[in-house]
Amino acid sequence: MSRSKGNGEGRSVTLHVVSSLDGFIAKPDNSVSWLDSTGSVYQAGASISEEETAAFVKAIDCYVLGSRTYEHALELGWPYGDTPAVVVTGREWPPAEKSVEFYSGDLKTLVDVKLAPRYRNIWLVGGAMLCQRFLELGLVDEIRLTIAPVLLGEGLRLFGGSPAEERWNLKNVVAYKNGLVELSYSAPIA
């Protein structure tokens, strides 16, 4: 699978998910309390101010998410504000927030034809099924994997079934005071 151009002048697709220590991104009942409060304190860790978080989030041009993640996000309260968001689905949906668009079809066309001309900093925010398809198609330029200090025991596996073996390049590691660790990887060079 040849990787479409994502760096330099063009768009970049960042896959971001939070995983438990044992590799799950959701509990069987979808509850997310394990994400909210880690209960862990790592004194040497970094902290990030609300202003820094806001500036970081402001730099994201567009979110892409699978329909099951969309359903869950609606239940919890829409977290993406007015930033454009594309929900990948084969179903018909009732009218949504103005910033939300539904997309059905080829994912490479979505990224290269629909999103790339409009957005540079594109964030794929789950779930497992959609992330796996993006990885299989070589559409991800960066993986940001946040590890939460918790074992869940069961749930939805990160990336579902494993895609083919592929070596990624570690670019950065940040450990936070609350025990979360963020690992950033860039895509293998084709």
Ligand X SMILES: NC(=O)c1ccc[n+]([C@@H]2O[C@H](COP(=O)([O-])OP(=O)(O)OC[C@H]3O[C@@H](n4cnc5c(N)ncnc54)[C@H](OP(=O)(O)O)[C@@H]3O)[C@@H](O)[C@H]2O)c1
Binding site for ligand X (CB under 6 A): 17-18, 25-26, 30, 66-69, 72, 88-91, 104, 107, 125-130, 133, 156
Least distance CB 161 / ligand X (angstroms): 11
Least distance CB 152 / ligand X (angstroms): 10
Q: Which is nearer to ligand X, 180 or 187 (CB)?
A: 180
Q: Which is nearer to ligand X, 32 or 170 (CB)?
A: 32
Picking from 78, 113, 121, the residue whose alpha carbon sits closest to that of residue 96 is 78
- With beta carbons less than 8 A apart as the criterion, state whether 78 and 97 touch: yes
Q: How far apart are CA 158 and CA 131, in angstroms?
A: 9
Least distance CB 43 / ligand X (angstroms): 26
Q: What angle do CA 134, 136, 139 make, to 5 degrees?
A: 40
Least distance CB 20 / ligand X (angstroms): 8
Please report, in angstroms and rounded to a whole number, the separation of the first and last CA atoms in the chain. 9
Least distance CB 107 / ligand X (angstroms): 5
Cβ burial, residue 19 (10 Å; 0-12/13-18/19+) = buried
Q: Which is nearer to ligand X, 7 or 53 (CB)?
A: 53
Residue 153: asked if its preceding bond is cis (omega within 30°), the reply is no
Picking from 38, 103, 22, the residue whose alpha carbon sits closest to that of residue 70 is 103
Q: Which is nearer to ligand X, 63 or 119 (CB)?
A: 63
Q: Which is nearer to ligand X, 15 or 187 (CB)?
A: 15
